[in-house]
């Protein structure tokens, strides 16, 4: 089996698992009269992504204007982001912590300000964070 085929199968497995999680959560929340925030569609308003440890996470990358490069060095993840395309990358964090995300492509005059954080937390902390996000929307 070629490397690309293994990646594709892995990505399809993660997408299926994510869709199952979303549908289960949607059903539970609707039963309580609440709406669902789809975790992999949350836009981080303060340039920080919160994700649970030991769970596969899909990051959907999009650019409006120029080519960027999503770089998460501690996870050995570097993915170009091309305008007009949605590109998915997945990762499964194995430890908690705050990790810097940078743009590794010289993309313009504001390139030096393109910095964010990938905050990996326990499942309990993640659910608490998700609840606060639902309460503020």
**pTM for the model:** 0.64
pLDDT on residue 68: 87
Q: Alpha-carbon distance 61 to 77, whole Å?
A: 13
- Cα–Cα distance list, 93 to 19, 38, 87 (Å): 19, 19, 19
Given this model, what pLDDT does residue 42 score?
44
Q: Residues 7-43: pLDDT tens digits?
A: 555 555 655 555 555 555 444 444 434 333 344 444 4
Domains for the chain: give ranges and CATH numbers. Answer: 37-136 (2.60.40.420)
Q: Which pLDDT value is given to residue 105? A: 86
Percent of the chain clearing pLDDT 70 (strictly above): 65
pLDDT at 104: 87
- The parts of the chain modelled with pLDDT lower than 70 are 1-46, 137
CA angle 70, 48, 129 (to 5 degrees): 135
Residue 48's H or E segment, with its range, is strand 48-52
3-state secondary structure of 79: strand
Which pLDDT score, from 0 to 100, does residue 1 have? 47
């Amino acid at each position: 089996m070629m490397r690309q085929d293994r990646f594709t199968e892995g990505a399809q497995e993660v997408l299926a698992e994510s869709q199952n999680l979303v549908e289960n959560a949607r059903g539970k929340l609707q039963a309580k009269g609440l709406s669902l925030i789809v975790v992999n569609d949350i836009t981080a308003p303060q340039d920080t992504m919160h994700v649970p440890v030991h769970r596969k996470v899909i990051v959907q990358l999009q650019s409006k204007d120029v080519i960027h490069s999503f770089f998460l060095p501690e996870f050995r993840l570097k993915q170009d982001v091309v305008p007009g395309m949605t590109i998915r990358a997945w990762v499964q964090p194995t430890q908690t912590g705050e990790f810097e995300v940078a743009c590794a492509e010289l993309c313009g005059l504001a390139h030096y300000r393109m910095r964010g954080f990938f905050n990996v937390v326990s499942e309990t902390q993640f659910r608490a964070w998700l609840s606060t996000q639902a309460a503020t929307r």
